[in-house]
Structure 1
Amino acid sequence: MDFKQPVQGQNTYMPPSPALYGQPPPPPSYPPMVLQEFVIANGITDRNLKAFPSETSMRMYKEYNKLSKHHLDFPRAKSNQNASIGLPLVISKRCLSIGLGDTSYLRFFECVPAPEARDRLYDKVDNRHIGEVLRRKFIGYTRYRLQLKGVETVVFAHLRLPIVDLRINDERFRFVKAISPVLNPDRFLYDLYLLAPDQVSLVDNMDSSRKVHKSNLLLGGLLHNIFPIRWCSRDRSKYISPHKCGSFDYYRSWEMFTRTKKCSVFSMYTYAVGNVDATAAVEFRSLILVAVSLILQSIEDDLHLARTARRNSNTTTNNVH
């Protein structure tokens, strides 16, 4: 990059080189952090989910799905998708597995551009399997083993407390759920925190068994988990940290009969590197947390189905009587 030299007479300050004074060079600069909003979308059946790097990316994807190869906008759409713009970041598909031990819960696919296919845009044949989630229930918590591109991340969801814990490298993260409003139980909100070193996490002292350590203070005694006590809003403050770094929030969409309907937003601070609408610009740590948000969305979908079944059962019982 060519830098213009200052013109004499201008009020331009040129800092001296640190080497002239025997000082060490300045530390390397890092790109600024920005709040990136990943959009989660479901379809008519709600069983499969798509995550997009931005709202703009999702809108472009929906627009491009309507284009034929003879459309005037086809070249622009093809160019964008070749640059990983206007594509889902990751797709999750539900698995119908039952049994003891680890069972398949989700499968993950990434959407790969196909520049060699010059006469078409992205199609599901371009999906590439990149991982899965194995679920297992224990007394007091549920374990989700997220395997993504050869890297495993263990996620623990507490059954009594409103927390979901995980570790990425040396960082311990926690999603803390807010209480659902009584009049709208489908509305949910999770805040994402980076835990402080002195805070206890479900992932602490985990060995090769990938289980919560039996002496972990967050589990409590056996009676606490067999006869759980409902938590209230003031309990939530006990499990948060001063380092909030994101949120996962329900979104109510009024769209009907669409295969891509926005249902939630996962927001987190990321380093501003590249085009935020491009899937190729998403760092791997962010990809893992997006995958965890897809797990949380699937959990919320299961809770919604269970509430609907109970309401239908109560309605049927009342009609009989």
Structure 2
Amino acid sequence: PQMELQEFIVTGRLINRSLKVFPSEKSLRMYKEYARLGRRDPDFIRAKNAQNSSVALPLLMTKRSWGIGVGDTSYLRIFEAVPSPEAKDRLYSKVDNRHIGEVLRRNFFGYTRYRLQIKGVETVVIAHRRLPIVDWRINDERFRFVKATNPVLSPDLFLYHLYLLAPDQDSLVDKMDSSLKVHRGNALLGGLHNIFLLRWYLSDRSRYMSPYKCGLLEFYRSWKIFTRTRKCSIFSMYTYAIGNQDANNAVEFRLLILVAVSLILQSIEDDMHSKR
């Protein structure tokens, strides 16, 4: 199959920092349109058929947890919207949300670990504290988000480029054992001897990139647009065109994990924004 650019639209609420993500702009537009329909509306049947086909439903939703303490604390709870063909007299509502996972967070010296757990599968996501990189692995593929804007120069913007790392590149998840901690000799943490010498300079960013750029997480929010649409960001990635790009059931599991990682980054950025 041919590769196509797919844009996942992230929307949010400021009050409780909950997020929704949709597999396309069209899916989000239909979701909003159908939310206004009543049982006797002439478009009700069309809307119900679409939602039964997993179109016009949120792909994933996250709710912030405010866990405190040492060790792993709950950071996000993750839900999916499940079609309800048996409920013939109503469209999607919150009762159709199913809890499918969570994100646990723990701070270490030099990095923060996020344990993303979806449908019984765990992905360890490592965010460096001083370098603009976030690393994780899905099976044999090692991925990295590299932040492309300087938070000092552009505090209200963020842009992350997604890369598939080359075999000869170091990753924060290399040689990770059952403790799920970054390996003590990992060069990206500076090793044991020069950990304090590692700093982020703009000219250095290229060394953390790879030739295999495969996606982008782009900050969307202007206050005017956000107030009207609730759009936070867009995660775009080249995917193999299989099925209907507006349908949640066409999103394969590997891509679902990548979308979930982008929601972790959106939540991190929201936290930083709220502290300013």
TM over 0.5: yes
Shift of 1:257: 5.4
Kindly indicate whether residue 242 of structure 2 is the aligned counterpart of residue 273 of structure 1.
Answer: yes
Query: Is the contact made by 1:44 and 1:257 (CA closer than 8 Å) also made in structure 2?
Result: no
Q: Residues 235 and 183 of structure 1: is their aligned pair in 2 closer, same or farther, counting only changes over 3 Å? A: closer
Match of residue 213 from structure 1? 183
* TM-score, normalising length: structure 1: 0.82
Match of residue 148 from structure 2? 178
* Partner secondary structure for residue 84 of structure 2: coil
* Partner secondary structure for residue 135 of structure 1: strand
Query: Is the contact made by 1:40 and 1:51 (CA closer than 8 Å) also made in structure 2?
Result: yes
How far, CA to CA, are the matches of 2:247 and 2:163 in structure 1?
25
Kindly tell me the number of residue pairs found equivalent between the two proteins.
275
Match of residue 189 from structure 1? 159
Letter in 2 for 1:153: T
Larger Rg, first or second structure (1 or 2): 1
How far, CA to CA, are the matches of 1:143 and 1:297 in structure 2?
15
Query: Is the contact made by 2:190 and 2:197 (CA closer than 8 Å) also made in structure 1?
Result: no
Query: Is the contact made by 1:180 and 1:186 (CA closer than 8 Å) also made in structure 2?
Result: no
Query: Is the contact made by 1:160 and 1:228 (CA closer than 8 Å) also made in structure 2?
Result: no
* Partner secondary structure for residue 301 of structure 1: helix
Shift of 1:274: 0.4
Match of residue 125 from structure 2? 155
Query: Is the contact made by 2:190 and 2:198 (CA closer than 8 Å) also made in structure 1?
Result: no
Match of residue 11 from structure 2? 41
Pairwise CA RMSD of aligned residues?
Answer: 1.6
What are the Cα deviations for residues 146-181 of structure 1, in whole angstroms up to 9, with x where unaligned? 001110000000001110000000000000001236
What does residue range 112-131 of structure 1 map to in structure 2 within 5 Å? 112-131=82-101
Q: Residues 224 and 48 of structure 1: is their aligned pair in 2 closer, same or farther, counting only changes over 3 Å? A: farther
Kindly indicate whether residue 39 of structure 2 is the aligned counterpart of residue 78 of structure 1.
Answer: no
Letter in 2 for 1:280: N
How far, CA to CA, are the matches of 2:201 and 2:67 in structure 1?
33
More strand by share: 2
Q: Percent identity at matched positions?
A: 69
Match of residue 251 from structure 1? 220
What are the Cα deviations for residues 75-102 of structure 1, in whole angstroms up to 9, with x where unaligned? 1111100000000000000001100000
What does residue range 241-320 of structure 1 map to in structure 2 within 5 Å? 241-253=210-222, 254-255=224-225, 261-307=230-276
Q: Residues 118 and 154 of structure 1: is their aligned pair in 2 closer, same or farther, counting only changes over 3 Å? A: same
In structure 1, list runs of 5 or more residues that go unmatched.
1-30, 308-321
What does residue range 6-85 of structure 1 map to in structure 2 within 5 Å? 31-45=1-15, 47-85=17-55
Task: State which of 143, 162, 168 in structure 2 corresponds to 1:198.
Answer: 168
Comparing 39-48 and 89-98, the one that deviates more = 39-48
Runs of 4 or more, structure 1, over 6 Å off, are none
* Partner secondary structure for residue 267 of structure 2: helix
Letter in 2 for 1:56: K
Letter in 1 for 2:273: H
Query: Is the contact made by 1:179 and 1:232 (CA closer than 8 Å) also made in structure 2?
Result: no
Shift of 1:184: 3.9
Query: Is the contact made by 1:111 and 1:128 (CA closer than 8 Å) also made in structure 2?
Result: yes
* TM-score, normalising length: structure 2: 0.95
In structure 2, list runs of 5 or more residues that go unmatched.
none
How far, CA to CA, are the matches of 1:232 and 1:124 in structure 2?
45
